[in-house]
Structure formats: structure tokens, C-alpha cells
Structure 1
Amino acid sequence: MALVSLGDMAQSFLLRSHNARLKGDLLRQSQELSTGRVQDVGHRVGGDFSQLAGLERSLARIDAFNLAAREATVLTEAMQSALGAISDQATSLAPDLMTAAQAGQPSHVDAIGAEARSRFETTLSRLNTRVGDRSLFAGTTTNAPAVADGATIMAALVTAIGAAGATTADDVAQAVSDWFDDPAGFETIGYLGSNQSLSPLTIGEGVRVSIGARADDKDLRGTLKALATAAVLDEGVLPGDTAARAALASRAGEDLLSAQGDWSALQARLGVAQERVASAQTRNTAEQFALQMARNDLLSIDPFETATELQTTQMQLETLYSITARLTRLSLTDYL
């Protein structure tokens, strides 16, 4: 019978080959056990990556939807906060205007005029609210203020009142209202934003939400007119006519109260948008969880089976080291 043996060099290469293979298996099994995912994805899917690619694409799409939904949440919450603060300013000012008008004292009317001017400027500041360095109420012109400052608008209103020859409270209130409605008035001098609202955000599969509230919204005009009507008292309109100035304060207070319905409609629209965003986020989360489970089922490993394989590989590697050590200690005398 022919005896087949391996030379020292061939035997060394063979041991090295076994050692490299076992070390590779040990590394792969260790990584799989620590990550819980198979390392050789191609072998697991049999070379067909279409299902895995579909899952990854869907998850990436969900991530984009969630990002848009988070942006919509931040914007709508900031808008609601700004509008709520403006509404509170207007609501609390209305009774003070009427009380000052009933008192009929020049000092009271002057004081409420100064207060109205302050609140009008605060309202303009709220309309210029920025989030993430983008203007909320300026439409698509997100890099600029939504409205001009109070001094600019007051100067334009005083000019309009003078040009109208206003001599009574009704005349002044009408001049202020006409300026806000005139395209060459508020829309040109006061409103600095775009006449186009922000494009609706896609926050889910087939779900879009519009958050296009602008400072020139018709539902805001009534409050802005009433605040401005009261604020011009601080500009000295109707000088020397205390009764007319008191009537103007009363008129502004009544207009503020009647404008509350418009505020409710505007805040309700934003509330509907917030509800749609919250619903979309819930659906996105559920779909994301289902997709992640499907991906895990496709790529996950059995930890008990992998741990057993890892232990077996360790034993084989230790055995190989023992054999290698024995072979390196062989001598001709031992062989003979």
C-alpha cells in the first residue's frame, strides 16, 4: 500500500489555513452574537437583495416623513404660541379701552393710548417670530421679517388719517381700516412677506399638511386694525377733543372684542393641522416598527445557535493550537 505523507512546508501551510479559517469563523460568530445580525447578508438572502432593498427604502421614506412631521410640529406649535400671546394681549386690552373711554378723562385716554401702542408693537414683534432662523408669518419669504416695525406703520397711519381729513372718531377708525385694506397701504408698507404661503409638507404616505398662516391673513386684519386704531391715540390724533378721543378708544375696544371670532377660526385651522401631524406621526411610528421587525426577521440570528457555534469554534481552535505545539516539538529521535 502506498503511504501518502505531507512535507513540513505543506503541513505548515495546512495548519495556517485551518487557523485562518477558524479565526475568521470566530470573528464572524462574535460579531453576529454581539450585533444580533447576520454578517454575510448575501448568503442569508441567497443573493436576492430586492426584499431587503425594499425594506430599507421604505424605512428611509418613513424617516423623511418623520423629519417633515417634526418640522411641522415645531412650526405649528410656535405659531400657536405667538397667536395665543397676541390674542391674550388683545383680549385684556379691550375692557381697559372701554373703561378709559367711560371715564372720559384726558389722562386716562392718554395712558390707554400709550398702552395700546406698546401692545401693538408687541403684536408686530410676535408676528416677526422666527424659528430656526426662518420667519413664521412671512409666507415663502422665510429670511425676512413678516411686518414692518411699529414706528413705520404708525407714521403711515398718521399720514393716511391726515390725508382723509378725519375729524371724528369714526373718521379716524375708517381711515385706519381703509389703510389696512388698501393694497398700497398695509400690503405694501406694513406686510413685508410673500403673498404665497409655504408649500404643504408631506408628513406621511399620501398625507400633506398646510401651515400657511401669514401676517396678512384676513383673520388677523380685524385685530391689527383695532390695535392700530387704539395705538394712534398715542400719536395725538384728534387733539384737544377729549370726547372724540374717548369715543375712538371705545370703538377700538369694541372692534377688538368682535375680532375674537376671527382669531378662533385661525387658531382652529392650526389646531386641525396639529391634529393631522400627530395622527401621521402615530401611523408612521407603527409602520416603522413593522418594517423594522420585518428587517430583523430577515437579518437576525439565533443567539443560542450562534453561541453554540462560537463555543465549538473556540474548542476547535484550541485543539489546533495543541496539535501545532506538539508538531513543533517533534524531533528525529521521537519520530524514529
Structure 2
Amino acid sequence: MKTSFISTLTLWNAPRSGVARMQTDLASALTELNSSRFADVGLELGYRTGTSLDLHRQLAELDAQKERNGLASLRLSGTQTILDQVREDGEGFLALVAPGKLSDDSAAAITQEASSRLAALTAQLNGAAGGQYLFAGIDTGKKPVTIYEGTPASAAKTAMATAFQAAFGTSQGTQPGAAAITPAQMTAFLDGPFTALFTDATWSANWSSASNRNITSRISGSETVETSVNANAGALRQLAMAYTLGSDIGLSSLSKPTQDAVYTKIRDLMGTAAAGVTSFQADLGRAQTKTTEATTRIDIQKVVLTKSLEDLEGTDPAEVKTRIDTLKTQIEMSYSVTSQIRGLSLINFI
């Protein structure tokens, strides 16, 4: 027969030995009640933990893709808004130089309007969203277009004055030199030296620091779209050409027939530019639609994956609540027994 040593301390500590475990279980149960998820997923799932981790990874990738799509949508929306303004300004200016609207006194007003719209175009092309320049191509940290009118004179304005002086031996707006320019001479200048001021090389040297490459955004695992228009695009250059021509050719100093030659060139440039801007907006609109559809598909995928995770890691609230009540009762009983034992002493029975 085996005997064991009994003391008050042994009896006192016996109920307390299980309290720590029950308190740990209670904390885990409370966590499960609040999160509706196993407190220790690895312990509960065992070999299926890998499946849980894979589902979490897929959800994280979808969240990251949705955030990238949001940035792309912001860029597309901002670009569309600016192009709307650019197109409306262009249409308004084109209406001013329509043949039926012109008179002998139109030159000064058109010069002022062209100057104002050139400044507006520059500001629009330097527009930004989310800390990135929208028309800078992939070089989103660089302001894409320089200001034409400024102090000191911009490279573009200096190049215009130099080309005019070389072609006609006089400066813009001078009398009687500019008044002697014939329509044929002006047409030759506009189709030659003036157009040369807006070629790829001279545009990049005097006007633009934008990249020729537009931003391409991945909107899903297998789909990419262009989500920007850069300031080097032909239609935007043609707008700058038309406004520069109207504002800095010295319209008021030219003869009426020569003015008509200038207006004809402006109308040609504006008509082509308007069609180009509309085409840009159509392309961006398709990109917006694809981005929205991709984001919708991501939301659907997230719902499916979230449901799979809930089925794998989720707890039954009723079962957890019952477990919590049971643990609380056991802990209270343990405290009660411990309190009663503290009042006992073997000395009282000797």
C-alpha cells in the first residue's frame, strides 16, 4: 500500500493548478467570439493551414491590385477632365476664327484670346493628380510643359522670333515691314519654318520634358491598358501651334489677305487637333471601362475567397458562447473552493 503526504498547502494549490489553463482557454474563446475566427488557426487546422495561408495570400494580392486599379482610375478620370477642358477651349477658339465671324477688327481680339488659351493649355498639360503629372508620360515627377510667355523669354518664344526674323527680315508686329508680307510668303513660312518649330526634336528642346511613353497599367493578372496621354502627342502640339500662331504672329500688323492666310492655317490646325483630342478621350474611355470591369471582377473574387476562409477558419458563435460560460463557471468554482480551503487548517483537527 502506497501512502502520500497531505498538507494544507497541497490542498490549497490543487484547485489553482487548473485555473491558469482555464484562463488561457477563456482568453482564446473571447478572441474567437470577437473575431469569429480560431484564436490559433495553425493548431485548429493542422495540415490544412497551408490552404489558409494560400487564401490569405490571394486576398492580399487582390487588395493590392484593387488599390492599383484605384490609382489608375484616378489618373484616367483626371486626364479625361483636363481633356474635356482642352477640347472645349479649342472648339471655342475655332468658333472665333470661323470665316463668318471675322472682321477687320478681329485681329486684336483673336491675339488676346490665343494668348489666354495658350497659357490655359500650358496649365492644363501641367495638371497633376495624386502627386503625379498627368501628361508627363512615364516621367510623372517632371512638369511636362514650359510656359511660353515669361521672363526671361522662353526658348520656344525666342525660336519663334528668330524664325520670323530670318524669314521676313523684320520682327512680328512691326510696321511697315510686317504689313508688306504677302499671303504666299506667309503660307510658305507657316508650312516651312513655323511648322519646323514643332517637330519632335524642337518640341522636346523648347517646349516639353515629357516622355513619349504613356503609362501602362496592369489591371488584372492578364490585362494591361494605357492610362495616360503625354504632352508630346500630335494633337496637343497642334493646339500649341494654333495658339502660338494666333498670339505671336503679329496679326494686327498684317494685311487683311495675309491675316486670312493665318486664319486658314489656324482653322486647319484646330480641326485636326480637335479630332485628335476626341480620339484620346475615346481611348481613355475604353481604358476606364476595362479598369472598372476588372475591379468588379476583383470584388467578386474577394467575396468567394472570403467565404472560403470563413468556412475554413470560422467558429460557431453559439458553441463559443457556451464554452465561455462553462469556463467562467469552472473558474468561479475553483476560486470558491480555493477560498474555502484557505479557511481550513490540519491544526484545527489535532
TM-score normalized by the length of structure 1:
0.89
1:162 aligns with 2:188: no
Q: How far 1:118 moved relative to its partner? A: 0.9
Corresponding residue of 1:71: 71
Which of 222, 245, 251 is 2:238 aligned to? Answer: 222
Q: State the match for 1:194 in structure 2.
A: 211
Structure 1, unpaired ranges of 5+: none
Q: Aligned with 2:137: secondary structure?
A: coil
Inter-CA distance 135–281: structure 2 relative to 1 (3 Å threshold): same
Q: Is the 8 A contact 2:235 2:277 kept in 1?
A: yes
Structure 1: distance between partners of 2:14 and 2:167? 105
Match of 2:113 among 109, 112, 115: 115
Instruction: Call closer, same or farther: CA 1:8–1:149 in 2, change over 3 Å.
Output: same
Q: Answer whether contact 1:72 1:201 (CA < 8 A) is retained.
A: yes
Task: Judge conservation of contact 1:102–1:246 (CA < 8 Å) in 2.
Answer: no
1:29 paired to 2:47? no
The answer for unaligned runs of 5 or more in structure 2 is 169-180
> CA 1:6/1:203 → structure 2, altered by over 3 Å: closer, same or farther?
farther
Q: Return the alpha-carbon distance in structure 2 between the equivalents of residues 265 and 240 of structure 1.
A: 35
Give yes or no for the alignment of 1:278 onto 2:276. Answer: no
String of CA shifts for 1:139-191, please: whole Å, max 9, x gaps. Answer: 2222222112112233322322333347534234324333212x442232112
CA–CA separation in structure 2 for the residues paired with 1:104 and 1:250:
15
**Paired position in structure 1 for 2:138:** 140
Higher mean alpha-carbon deviation, 288-297 vs 2-11, is at 2-11
Take 1:111 and 1:80, find their aligned partners in 2: how far apart are those partners? 29
Shift of 1:241: 1.8
Provide the alpha-carbon RMSD of the alignment: 2.4
Partner of residue 311, structure 2? 297
Is the contact made by 2:75 and 2:129 (CA closer than 8 Å) also made in structure 1?
yes
Mapped contact 2:235–2:274 kept (Cα < 8 A): no
| Structure 2: distance between partners of 1:87 and 1:320 | 80
Mark the CA change 1:238 to 1:333 in structure 2 (over 3 Å): closer, same or farther: closer
Q: Distance in 2 between matches of 1:135 and 1:65?
A: 22
Q: Distance in 1 between matches of 2:182 and 2:148?
A: 23
Distance 2:101 2:42 in 1: 82
Question: Matched residues, percent identical?
Answer: 25
Pairing of 1:1-336 with structure 2 (within 5 A): 6-98=6-98, 102-105=102-105, 108-151=106-149, 152=154, 153-165=156-168, 167-168=182-183, 169-174=186-191, 175-181=193-199, 183-198=200-215, 200-233=216-249, 236=250, 239-332=253-346, 335=349
State how far apart, in whole Å, the 1-side matches of 2:129 and 2:146 are.
Answer: 18
CA deviations 1:197-252 (Å, max 9, x no partner) are 33x2222121222224111112333333222222224xx25724244224423541
Shift in Å at residue 275 of structure 1? Answer: 0.9
Whether contact under 8 Å (2:89, 2:117) holds in the other structure is yes
Mapped partners of 1:184, 1:246: distance in 2:
29
Structure 1 counterpart SS, 2:198: helix
State the shift of 1:50 in Å: 1.1
Question: In the superposition, relative to structure 1, how do residues 135 and 232 fare at CA in structure 2: closer, same or farther (>3 Å)?
Answer: same
Contact residue 94 and residue 270 of structure 2 kept, 8 A: yes
